[in-house]
Amino acid sequence: MATLSRTSGKILRKVQFLPIFSRNYSSVKCNKFNKYVWNTCACAIGGGILLYAANVKNRGIVYALKAKQPEELMKAVKLTSRERRFIKFASVEYGGQLYMTPQDFLESVVEQEPRPRLKRRVLTTKEIEQLRDQVPPLKKGSSQMFRSMRDRGIISYTEYLFLLSILTKPASGFEIAFNMFDTDGNQRVDKNEFLVMEKIFSYAWKGKRGMNLEGAEEGKGPQENYINDDQGLQRRHNVDTLLQVHFFGKKGTNDLKFEGFRQFMENLQTEVLELEFHEFAKGHETISEVDFAKILLRYTYLDTDEYDMYLDRLLDRVKDERGITFEEFKTFCQFLNNLEDFTIAMRMYTLADHPISKEEFQRAVRVCTGQEHSPRLVATVFAIFDADGDGRLSYKEFIAIMKDRLHRGFKSYAKNEGWDAFKSCVKQEMKSAV
């Protein structure tokens, strides 16, 4: 009994899948009765482990040393934050592929959790056809299209990544985005050129998981290069989505021109900002300065004390609340889409360790965006981020928090995912086509 107990104790301390129990067992200070109880438990557990090991040995199989097959390694791959969020909010499924609805997408960028639902809805082919018939043409697009469509449309994972990238693009980047799709340079994008995006993100998905890319042969369409993954993100599918029908018509024969593409991007940015603004406005034309601060801080990684410190600082400094209008809020968010240019403009001040005044801040905003913030908005920003109250902006804190706000909680951007990957992959596609 004592020998088995000692052996069991050693096993418990060495076995990696019971670290908490083994730590507790080895550090217990107790009386004789408690020791007896612990020894008995250890004996039972250790004996069970030894019997199981003996049973396995008799069957000639050592599971702990069994090498994982490539398929098992694929299943064990850690999902990215975007993949997890898409899976979490996607409410419909067709042919094993997960899809978001327009409402799912909006919720995914402004809410922490999806709306309650019993289970994911599995669509039929007839329902897919009905959804396609309800998508408005590009010329009837608006800044309320996603809200009015609600669940009448589907968005694939690759399109979700594309839509996320739109939300952080400055107006100056719209034409660049369009030209990345326009692979033949004729100032028009057809459906096949748009589908290159899905092929590119499929490549990125494979490469990120160390998969062999030789299957992505030239001449193959996007569908042939998809993977039947367990998550339902990259399964082979051939179905018209909301964006495909909206951009190229129900027959898929329309061409997308830059003006229509630019308007779509502006509408989507405005719609998300309106949704976020009205959440705090509660039917009023303005939001309070404190609500404005809460919107800026909601996607940050601040702990509770730091978060409260910013709000308390604002409350102490703003005595007469006048509120922030939607136009002021929208202008500020458009400025955040130019945050990289603003950082460059401010670099001379930061290199000289020079704090930024309101006038210098306004001038940098004007240079980067061609717009100016209202004095009231600038005063609110400084009230939040002016650490010592000397009328100067705490630049490093401001930039760090605004980057979190801009990317809505996706703090790290993998090199093989997102907009940079999209641009580099399109360039490679264009080279290979020459």
Distances (CA, A) of 425 to 106, 185, 267, 317: 27, 17, 27, 49
Query: Helices H, strands E: what count in the chain?
Result: 21, 7
The percentage of residues in the chain with a pLDDT greater than 70, rounded to a whole number, is 65
Residue 355 burial class via C-beta count within 10 angstroms: exposed 0-12, middle 13-18, buried 19 and up: middle
Cα separation, 370 vs 116, in Å, equals: 43
Task: Identify the CA nearest to 102 among candidates 153, 159, 27, 30.
Answer: 153
Instruction: Look up tokens 């400084």; give the residue.
Output: 382
Tens-digit pLDDT profile for residues 278-303? 999 999 999 999 999 999 998 888 88
In contact, 200 and 240? CB cutoff 8 Å: no
What's the average model confidence in pLDDT over 373-394?
88
Residue 348 has pLDDT above 60, yes or no: yes
Which is higher by pLDDT, 211 or 144?
Answer: 144
Total residue length of the chain? 434
Cα separation, 3 vs 7, in Å, equals: 6
Residue 127 has pLDDT above 90, yes or no: yes
Q: Which secondary structure element, helix H or strand E, spans residue 287, and what is its range?
A: strand 286-287
Task: Identify the CA nearest to 3 among candidates 32, 37, 35, 46.
Answer: 46
CA atoms within 13 A on the CB side of 95: 15
Cα separation, 83 vs 233, in Å, equals: 8
Whole-structure pTM value:
0.71
Residue 61 has pLDDT above 50, yes or no: no
Q: What is the pLDDT of residue 70?
A: 41
DSSP code string of 82-134: HHHHHHHH--EEETTEEEB-HHHHHHHHH-SSPPP-SSPEEPPHHHHHHHHHT
3-state class (DSSP) for residue 256: strand
Pairing between strand 188-189 and 286-287?
unpaired
DSSP code string of 299-367: TS---HHHHHHHHHHHHHH--S---EEHHHHHHHHHHHTTHHHHHHHHHHHHHTTPPBPHHHHHHHHHH
Mean pLDDT of the chain: 76
In contact, 346 and 366? CB cutoff 8 Å: no
What's the average model confidence in pLDDT over 347-373?
80
Q: What is the pLDDT of residue 56?
A: 43
In contact, 230 and 75? CB cutoff 8 Å: yes
Residue 319 has pLDDT above 60, yes or no: yes
Cα separation, 307 vs 384, in Å, equals: 11
Cα separation, 154 vs 158, in Å, equals: 12
Q: Position 418: which residue type?
A: G
The phi and psi torsions of 226 (rounded to 5 degrees) equal: -80, 165
